[in-house]
Amino acid sequence: GAGVSQTPSNKVTEKGKYVELRCDPISGHTALYWYRQSLGQGPEFLIYFQGTGAADDSGLPNDRFFAVRPEGSVSTLKIQRTERGDSAVYLCASSPTGTSSTDTQYFGPGTRLTVL
């Protein structure tokens, strides 16, 4: 796999349901980021992993949102009791080290989440 992949590409769910969004980063990349992009806006930071640990989760909007990266590669973003306002494109990015501001972040194509 040459790039960051995300599954599913589209997810439609009903209000109140639980969803999981998956991100496969570029092999060997230590840092992994989740962003949320609402219609007409730029990506908004959610959480950043350095290896297996969440180094910065200050962007998670509330306790319905949770993310894990148990083996330091694949990450799953979990949303409980989904609300219509959660509808957005969820972007994942990875970078080689995450310890340098000049690291290039490589973005996946995103998962479009629609909550009915």
Partner 1 sequence: AQSVTQLGSHVSVSEGALVLLRCNYSSSVPPYLFWYVQYPNQGLQLLLKYTSAATLVKGINGFEAEFKKSETSFHLTKPSAHMSDAAEYFCAVSSPAGKSTFGDGTTLTVKP
Q: How many residues bind partner 1 (CB under 8 A)?
A: 31
Site for partner 1 in 6-65 (CB under 8 A): 31, 33, 35, 40-45, 48, 50, 55-56, 59
Return the number of the residue (14 or 28) whose C-beta is nearest partner 1: 28
Question: Is cis: bond before 61, omega within 30 of 0?
Answer: no
CB of 1 to partner 1, least distance (A): 14
Return the number of the residue (20 or 44) whose C-beta is nearest partner 1: 44
Among residues 21, 54, 108, 115, the one that binds partner 1 under rule CB under 8 A: 108
Binding to partner 1 by residue 103, rule CB under 8 A? yes
Classify burial at 71, counting beta carbons within 10 Å of its beta carbon; exposed 0-12, middle 13-18, buried 19 or more. Answer: exposed
- Residues 113 and 86: their CA atoms lie apart, in Å, by 8
Question: Is cis: bond before 8, omega within 30 of 0?
Answer: yes
- Residues 56 and 74: their CA atoms lie apart, in Å, by 17
Binding region for partner 1 (CB under 8 A):
4, 31, 33, 35, 40-45, 48, 50, 55-56, 59, 91, 93, 95, 98-110
